[in-house]
A and B are shown apart, each in its own frame.
Chain A
Amino acid sequence: MTAVPLVETKPRSKRRPQKIALETVLFVVAIVLAIIWLIPFLFMIFTALKSNAELFSGKAYAPPIVYVWENFTRAWEIGKFQIYGVNSLLIAFVKVPLGIFLASMTAFAFSRLRFPYQRVLLLLVVMGTMIPVQVALGPVFHIILDLGLLNTYGGLLLVYIAFGFPYQVYLMYGFFRAIPFELDEAAMIDGCSRFGLYWRIILPLSLPILATLFILDFVGTWNEFSIALVILQDSRMWTIPLGLMGFSGYYSMDYPGLNAGIIITILPVVVVYIIFQRYFIAGLTAGAVKG
């Protein structure tokens, strides 16, 4: 790519003005589209900073004249986001490492060991990625109920781990298989056990995919709605999304407070996303679009 312009200097320089014009137009198009795309966010931020009086008297799309930061403190108190936030963090910090650990063991067995019915079993797990959660939601409710785990984090964690499992196994299977198999032989000859091979060789070599799964799974768990809706019935146990649902139900007339509440709940994931962007992209595209 870098060498190409050298060869092509002449025809390019002839078309220069045209090319610059085209690039400028496309840049402006991109800016306009991005602003339109972000309108819901802008509208949310404007609303969150307005007073109720201004909300009803002014134009809906206008920025606030007076900034009412107090909306945020009120939303924080009424929304009980400190409780839901702690619940969500607790669940994410247990679920994410545990789920990835279990999925990585399974992926290790499928990718580095040989056993009968390996392909069929792998296919079965991969099929799990296509099943809509809602198909299993009703039965899962009754299974969790029968286990006496309804309305507990233990029950929620089990279901979360199960539903994250197929996709994580699939992704790690692809990554593990790309690691040279000579390493396994060398490790075995040196007296390494299978668990040692998994723990001391495969996992450390897979840090990129593990990091990706950590970030993706953290955000996914933080945002999950429908499973938590079914398993957690006591509002003190709720996670952030359920808390926001309750908030929008009970305080539906306090629009500035509601929008401030949304901002409070999405700020953590937006920050996580902006810092760890490349992991999201890697996770989305890993194994999916390699030619």
Chain B
Amino acid sequence: MSQSETLGYIEPVGKSAAKRVMARERSWRQILDALPFLIPGGVIFVGLILYPIVYAVVMSFYRWDGAGSDRTFIGIQNYVDLFTRDPIFGRALLNSFIWVVLSLFIPTLWGLTLALLLNRKMWGRALFRTAFYLPAVISSIAVSTIWSWMYNPFLGFINAVMKELGLNDYIQQWLGDPQVALYAVFAAYVWVATGPNMLLFLAGLQNVPQDLVEAARVDGARPLQVFRFVTIPSLRPAIIVVIALTIINSLKVFDLVYQMTFGGPAQSTQVLATWTYFQAFSMHNFGMGMAVAVVLLVITLIIIIPYLRWATRGDDK
């Protein structure tokens, strides 16, 4: 340090070289200062997040049962098989797509409606918020068990109410019918996913400038116009977060499907996250399972990164 300083002082022509030496020394110092803070968490992050992803990508090019030492490199054969010979993968892909699209509309708009309702001054407002958020704090297995019981064909709540309302045509095996099961599981997901969206929108609504709302009203704006031109623009950050989280969470849905239908009946409720698990762990096609995982990862990143870039454009000044 002192040497390079002297150099720079005596010889102004060599300043840039000296600066470079100084800069290099400084960055080494910075690294040494930061390392003790970075290493403990960094080792775990690299070892159990980054390395597994690389491992998944590599293994997706192999045929391996996941247990023996017999691994064969087969290039992109797993991917070819997935898209040409695995009808259940097609089903899982479609189901994940349906899940994302439905999630983008139902728990989001429903959460927004509840947020608008509970943003008003109202007796017991905190209690209502608690009620709508409560399903989000209990474990997925509890949600699955409760909803499987609701759907029980003989003793469950839903068929009993259908019978009472005279809707006998709708009495059915909710989780046992390949046409219906996916949507039945999705209903349980809506029950869980709405509360967090509501809270995010409620937080966003606190940023709506009240003086602007008043000004619009004084100028004769109708409530709907106030909502469209004042509330919605102020909610933009909340909307972006809700949409991003909705996409991420819908693509990784696993617990409810695994617990409520185990992917059935007749594999009709398989989604990408469950299919990678069943391929890798139940059917002992580890390579195929990893190929599904890679497809899931690529889809997630392909949607989320451009979306976040688009959504946050202009935010960094």
Partner of B150, one of A43, A125, A143: A43
The smallest beta-carbon distance between A287 and chain B, in angstroms, is 9
Q: Which residues of A are found within 8 Å of B241, using beta-carbon distances? A: 288-289
Q: Which residues of B contact A291 (CB under 8 A)?
A: 207, 234, 237
B47–A143 CB distance below 8 A: yes
CA distance A288 to B296 in the complex (A): 25
B251 close to A132 (CB less than 8 A): yes
Query: Is B4 in contact with chain A by the CB < 8 A criterion?
Result: no
Pairwise interchain contact A134-B41, C-beta atoms closer than 8 A: no
Which residues on the A side are within 8 Å of B277 (C-beta)? 134, 137-138, 226
Instruction: Let me know if B243 is at the binding interface, CB within 8 A.
Output: no
Interface string of B99-134 (1 = CB under 8 A from A): 000000000000000100110101110111011111
Interface residues of A in 210-255 (CB under 8 A from B): 219, 222-223, 225-226, 230, 240-242, 244-245, 248, 255
Interface centre among A139, A225, A289 (most CB of B within 10 A): A289
If over half of B's interface residues share one DSSP class (helix, strand or loop), that class is named, otherwise mixed; here it is helix
Interface flag for B161 (CB, 8 Å): yes
CB-CB under 8 A from B79, the residues of chain A are none
Beta-carbon nearest neighbor of A7 in chain B: B214
CB of A47 closer than 8 Å to a CB of B:
yes
Most buried by B among A130, A138, A143: A138
Contact with A along B268-284 (1 / 0, CB 8 A): 00001110110011000
In contact, A241 and B203 (Cβ under 8 angstroms): no
B-facing mask of A246-286, CB < 8 A → 1, else 0?
Answer: 00100000010011001001100110011001001100110
The interface residues of chain B lying within 8 Å CB-to-CB of A280 are 133, 137, 199
A109 touches B146 (CB 8 A): no
* Chain B residues whose CB sits within 8 angstroms of the CB of A44 once the complex forms: 146, 149
Let me know if B138 and A194 touch, CB within 8 A.
no
Q: List, in ascending order, chain A residues with CB within 8 A of B210's CB.
A: 1, 4
Q: Which of A111-157 contact B (CB under 8 A)?
A: 113-116, 124-125, 128, 130-143
B49 touches A109 (CB 8 A): no
| Nearest A-chain residue to B23, judged by Cβ | A116
A34 within 8 A of B: yes
B139 touches A223 (CB 8 A): yes
Give the Cβ gap from B144 to chain A, nearest Cβ, in Å: 8
* B141 beta carbon closer than 8 Å to chain A: yes
Contacts of A4 in B (CB 8 A): 210, 214
Q: Looking at chain A's contact residues, is the secondary structure mostly helix, strand, loop, or mixed?
A: helix
Cα-based distance from A193 to B264 in the complex (angstroms): 58
State in angstroms the CA–CA spacing of A254 and B126 once bound together. Answer: 36
A68: CB under 8 A from chain B? no
A184: min CB distance to chain B, Å:
12
**A89: CB under 8 A from chain B?**
no
Quote the shortest CB–CB distance from B276 to chain A (angstroms): 6
Query: Restricting to B133-153, which residues have a CB under 8 Å from any CB of A?
Result: 133-135, 137-142, 145-150, 152
A105 with B41: CB separation less than 8 A = yes
A136 to B131, Cβ gap below 8 A?
no
Over the window 166-204 of chain A, the binary record of Cβ atoms lying under 8 Å from chain B Cβ atoms (1 yes, 0 no) is 100100000000000000000000000011001000000
Do the beta carbons of B122 and A30 come within 8 Å of each other? yes
Collect the chain A residues with CB atoms within 8 Å of residue B204's CB.
289
| Distance of A26 Cα from B125 Cα, bound (Å) | 11
A67 on the interface (CB 8 Å rule)? Answer: no
| Contact of B289 with A289 in the complex, beta carbons under 8 Å | no
B293 neighbours in A (Cβ, 8 Å): 134-138
Residue of B nearest to A282 (CB): B203
Asked whether A106 is an interface residue with its Cβ less than 8 Å from the other chain, the reply is: yes
B254 within 8 A of A: yes
Considering the complex, give the chain B residue whose CB is closest to the CB of A56: B155
Return the contact of A273 from the options B132, B134, B259 (Cβ within 8 A). B134
Residues from chain B with Cβ under 8 Å of A103 in the complex: 41
Contact between B55 and A139, CB atoms less than 8 A apart: yes
B156 at the binding interface (Cβ < 8 Å): yes
Bound-complex Cα distance A128 to B271 (A): 21
Are A158's CB and B34's CB within 8 A? no
Contact B141 A244 (CB under 8 A): yes
Task: List chain A residues, Cβ under 8 A from B255.
Answer: 225-226
Q: Which of A134, A158, A222 contacts B48 (CB 8 A)?
A: A158
Indicate which residue in B56, B114, B238 contacts A138 across the interface (CB closer than 8 Å). Answer: B56
Question: What chain B residues lie within 8 Å of A230 (beta carbons)?
Answer: 281
Partner of A289, one of B36, B44, B200: B200
Contact present for B252 and A134 (CB under 8 Å): yes
Q: Which residue of B lies closest to A278 (CB)?
A: B126
A137 proximity list for chain B (CB < 8 A): 276-277, 280, 293
Give which listed residue, B34, B44, B66, contacts A162 with CB less than 8 A: B44
**Nearest neighbor of B256 in chain A, beta-carbon distance:** A225
**Interchain residue pairs with CB less than 8 A apart (16):** A1-B210, A30-B128, A34-B131, A40-B157, A105-B38, A106-B45, A132-B248, A139-B290, A165-B49, A223-B140, A226-B255, A244-B141, A285-B199, A288-B203, A289-B203, A290-B237
Further 5 A-B residue pairs, CB within 8 A, beyond A27-B123, A125-B45, A162-B49: A1-B210, A131-B53, A143-B48, A255-B149, A258-B149
